[in-house]
Chain A
Amino acid sequence: MADEAEIPKESVSDERLVIFAVNGDRRSFEILVRRHQEKAVQIAYSFIHNFHDAKDIAQDAFVKSFKSLYRFQQRSKFSTWFYRILINQCKDFLKRKKEFTSSNESIFENIASPTQTDDAFKAHQLKQTLMEALNSLTFKQKAIVILSYFEEHSLEEVSTILGISIGTVKATRFQVLAKLKKELITSKEKAS
């Protein structure tokens, strides 16, 4: 393990850090946490709509992934494997919290104030419509939109993260896009 100490860990790949962590190097796991913490909270937030709960869920996911690091077979990227754990944590949280109702408060950045220009107001309305449409989706449909478009994961990655076939991802994405398009067109027409 002498060579391990010589490598500046910050530049080491996730997969190598996992190997070090499995061999008992906690510092490597801490680097993995720091690398992915922001994204993890953001993804959890896009499902939960609350930053504090999202933070707790992301931490739970990191703890869970640490406990089962030996199961990581390096067949996918560490982040893909970790997001699967994270999304399952989000799903469990929403199941436990049955009274939870998705708020229509936008999870997106740069929401223009209605007092701004017409274009900004239209953009605001579109985003509001998008939020409402997203809230009407099932967990799986929402996860596909979040991972495919907001997080820009590939089809293969989305299929691995959600544990479904690529065909199912494609088909579900098609249905969701049709639904969102319909909602957004209606909203646009109303605004114009």
Chain B
Amino acid sequence: MKEPGEDFKEIEDFLKKQQIKKTPPELLDKFSKEVMDRIQTEQPGSPWGLGIPGAVCVILLLAVGLFMWGSYQHKAPEEKIQLPKPTAAVIPVEASSPAVAAVPVEVPQPVEISQPVNVPQDQELSVEETIQILEELDEEGLFSLMEEVMGEEFLIQELLITVPMT
């Protein structure tokens, strides 16, 4: 029984006997010298694949970049590029989404700050002075003033005590 590949033993032996023509010696005379001349200016290379010319280019690029960055830093603020301020993004909320709808959203109400009418802020009045001002007020003015100061319980109590309600 023949071994696998035995069919080709004869042809393999024939092929192995063949010898490729020898290189003419004159071609090899200066071969290595010519190769070494060609790689005279080359480097064995580096993992960066740069070599000396590449490294010089990178250094130059870095220097130019550094110079440009430095000169930009020294510019007046108005000469610098003004970036637009970010605006609040409006995110549409779909009420149909139960997860979103379940989250209570508190909308802050605008707060109005009103100055009390006819009452100077930076000076305190004595009780006598207050009574005098109140006595000068007619009924409508008195109620108007009371409306202004609603919430200031102390003052109201003072008024109730000291102002004879006739």
- Return A28 CB to nearest CB of chain B, in Å: 10
Q: Is the CB of B27 within 8 A of A181?
A: no
Q: Is B14 positioned at the interface, with any CB of A under 8 Å from its CB? A: yes
Q: Is B75 positioned at the interface, with any CB of A under 8 Å from its CB? A: no
Complex Cα spacing A28 to B15, Å: 35
Across the interface, B27 reaches (CB within 8 A) one of A52, A174, A177, namely A52
- Return B28 CB to nearest CB of chain A, in Å: 6
Interface residues of B in 29-86 (CB under 8 A from A): 31-32, 34-36, 38-39, 42-47
Q: Is A78 positioned at the interface, with any CB of B under 8 Å from its CB? A: no
Using Cβ atoms and an 8 Å threshold, which residues of chain B touch A37?
Answer: 28, 31-32, 35
Across the interface, B44 reaches (CB within 8 A) one of A46, A70, A126, A180, namely A70
Q: Is the CB of A45 within 8 A of B16?
A: no
Using Cβ atoms and an 8 Å threshold, which residues of chain B touch A41?
Answer: 23, 27-28, 31
Stretch at the interface among A81-89, A91-99, A103-111, A160-168: A103-111
- Return A116 CB to nearest CB of chain B, in Å: 18
Q: Is the CB of B45 within 8 A of A45?
A: no
B46 and chain A: residue at smallest CB distance = A70
Using Cβ atoms and an 8 Å threshold, which residues of chain A touch B43?
Answer: 24, 67
Q: Which 5 A-B pairs have the closest CB atoms?
A: A149-B15, A177-B8, A109-B19, A33-B32, A41-B23
Q: Is the CB of B45 within 8 A of A46?
A: no
Complex Cα spacing A67 to B11, Å: 40
**Chain B residues engaging chain A, CB cutoff 8 angstroms:** 5, 7-8, 10-12, 14-16, 18-24, 27-28, 31-32, 34-36, 38-39, 42-47
Known: A62-B35, A67-B44, A149-B12. 17 other contacts (CB 8 A): A24-B44, A37-B32, A38-B23, A59-B31, A66-B45, A67-B45, A71-B45, A108-B21, A109-B20, A110-B19, A130-B14, A149-B15, A150-B19, A150-B20, A174-B5, A181-B11, A184-B14
Q: Is A51 positioned at the interface, with any CB of B under 8 Å from its CB? A: yes
Using Cβ atoms and an 8 Å threshold, which residues of chain A touch B7?
Answer: 181
Using Cβ atoms and an 8 Å threshold, which residues of chain A touch B23?
Answer: 38, 41-42, 45, 51, 54-55
Known A149-B12, A149-B16; contact A63-B39, beta-carbon cutoff 8 A: yes
Known A63-B39, A181-B7; contact A55-B21, beta-carbon cutoff 8 A: no
Using Cβ atoms and an 8 Å threshold, which residues of chain B touch A77?
Answer: none
Chain A interface secondary structure, helix, strand, loop or mixed? helix
Complex Cα spacing A66 to B42, Å: 8
Using Cβ atoms and an 8 Å threshold, which residues of chain A touch B8?
Answer: 174, 177-178, 181
- Binary interface profile of A, 153-188, with partner B (CB < 8 Å = 1, else 0)? 000000000000000000000100110110010000
Interface residues of A in 38-58 (CB under 8 A from B): 38, 41-42, 45-46, 51-52, 54-55, 58
Complex Cα spacing A21 to B14, Å: 40
Q: Is the CB of A45 within 8 A of B38?
A: no
Using Cβ atoms and an 8 Å threshold, which residues of chain A touch B28?
Answer: 37-38, 41
Using Cβ atoms and an 8 Å threshold, which residues of chain A touch B47?
Answer: 70
Q: Is the CB of B44 within 8 A of A42?
A: no
Instruction: Provide 15 A-B residue pairs closer than 8 Å at the C-beta atoms, listed in order of the A residue.
Output: A33-B31, A33-B35, A37-B31, A38-B28, A45-B20, A54-B23, A59-B34, A69-B44, A70-B45, A70-B46, A109-B21, A149-B18, A150-B15, A150-B20, A184-B14
